[in-house]
Chains A and B, each alone.
Chain A
């Protein structure tokens, strides 16, 4: 049981960390670009919101499987397949939760507007310097929201991890899948305990979101 919880937290934590790094430049570009293909790119980044997890899982299974062109590229490095591995789960979770990172970050970057960055430029800050010293701290609310949403969403995912993880105990079996297996085996008592804790967890996450949002909002109108 502890192993399942630890694996779930590891997966959610790693996904959150990597996804914030990946989503930041995407959200920044979406917030500031004026190219016509900005919204098509935004739509692609938002696709996981509306696609059934099984569709996503199916394509990921093929992309991460031994026969895919991606794996052919990685073959020289000793990687034959990422399906049914923890790395595969992280990749799948990142894609599945991408919109939950991109949307709040984009909104936060857009809310900053042009002016603080112009002020920074007039005060000798090069673009990257201005991004780090002005845009990142002013978007901290967005980062907080993105981190919490991605973490919680990854803990709650089921379809994608089942498709590409295969529920291998100790390697790819996470909480949501364990609950499914317990129910299938008619072990309702244990299922209750796990499901109940997840409800509590979800409540705490939402509460934290709202409280933090109000607190940080007061500091930064």
Chain B
């Protein structure tokens, strides 16, 4: 078990099916956890955050967060978590929300001003969270998670509750995230087009298991270029993933 990885092994019952996953990915860049709704992606993410507890083992960069004998509670895990719905604190202003994690995080590598500038939150700071648009809320939620100084960022379908316009507003921030903070990101999504653009690697999940998933096809590789001519690389990769998720077998050359 090397130190610079995220190693997860979880077993347990989850409603009608069994969750049984094991994976180890480098603790760097964006790893997409991709699959249809109800595959157990969110449960995996919640277990890594410590919000839910199944049997197994979770170790991040050599630190054991959970194993047979120990379970570290969520507030002691250096994570940032962005929920599907922004889940902002309604009794605090935007600034109050941003400062909530920052104040409790100890030594801050990332300051409020940096995050506010990066996400363009300046005009919202004094507003109540109840008067924000969906896109604005999710931007604040991302900023709030980043300011908790995470060593691992967990994004749980951060775009799925948004309309197309708001999605287009948020996506560029997620793509540029690495410019602000070099931390590993686990990104849960059921939308292939969304993750294909910037995920370095993809874990495909179905019915509580990780599927043997090939990496997104490299540009100019062995894909049938005739049929896909003119499509953006992201779009092609998205189609490939969607086909896999739908249960199609990859063609063996």
Q: Which of A's residues lie within 8 Å of B, judged by CB?
A: 115-116, 118-127, 129-130, 133-134, 137-138, 140, 219-221
Contact = CB atoms under 8 A, between A and B. Distances in A.
Interface string B118-135: 000000000010100000
A137 B91 contact: yes
B87 A119 contact: yes
Most central of A123, A127, A130 by chain B CB within 10 Å = A123
A122 B104 contact: no
B80 interface: yes
B145 interface: yes
Contacts of B88: 119
Contacts of B130: 219-221
Nearest to A221: B130
Nearest to B150: A122
Contacts of B85: 115
Nearest to A122: B81
Interface residues on B, range: 20 to 34
B90 interface: yes
B90 A220 contact: yes
A156 to B, nearest CB: 32
Given A121-B51, A123-B144, A115 B90 contact: no
Contacts of A220: 90-91, 130
A73 B91 CA distance: 45
Contacts of A124: 75-76, 101, 104-105, 148
Contacts of A134: 89, 91
A118 B88 CA distance: 11
14 contacts: A115-B85, A116-B89, A116-B90, A118-B81, A119-B88, A121-B50, A123-B100, A124-B104, A127-B75, A129-B75, A130-B75, A134-B89, A138-B91, A140-B91
A123 B79 CA distance: 8
Contacts, number: 72
Interface string B50-87: 11000000000000000000000111100111010101
Most central of B75, B88, B101 by chain A CB within 10 Å = B75
A89 B91 CA distance: 37
A116 B97 CA distance: 11
B74 A121 contact: yes
Given A115-B83, A129-B104, A221-B130, A122 B90 contact: no
B6 interface: no
Contacts of A118: 51, 74, 81, 83, 87
Contacts of A116: 87, 89-90
A123 B90 CA distance: 15
B87 A138 contact: no
A125 B104 CA distance: 7
B19 interface: no
A111 to B, nearest CB: 11
Contacts of A133: 100
B49 interface: yes
Contact of B81 (A119, A126, A130): A119
Interface of B: 49-51, 73-76, 79-81, 83, 85, 87-91, 100-101, 104-105, 128, 130, 144-145, 148
A214 to B, nearest CB: 16
A133 B100 CA distance: 9
A120 B105 CA distance: 12
Q: 4 smallest A-B Cβ distances: which pairs?
A: A123-B101, A122-B81, A124-B104, A121-B74
A219 B88 CA distance: 14
A133 B103 CA distance: 12
Contacts of B101: 122-124
A106 B237 CA distance: 50
Most central of A115, A125, A130, A219 by chain B CB within 10 Å = A125
Contacts of A126: 73, 75
A176 to B, nearest CB: 38
Given A119-B88, A125-B104, A126-B75, 10 more contacts: A115-B85, A120-B100, A122-B145, A122-B148, A123-B101, A133-B100, A137-B91, A219-B128, A219-B130, A220-B90
A209 B8 CA distance: 52
Contacts of B80: 122
A220 B91 CA distance: 7
Contacts of B50: 121
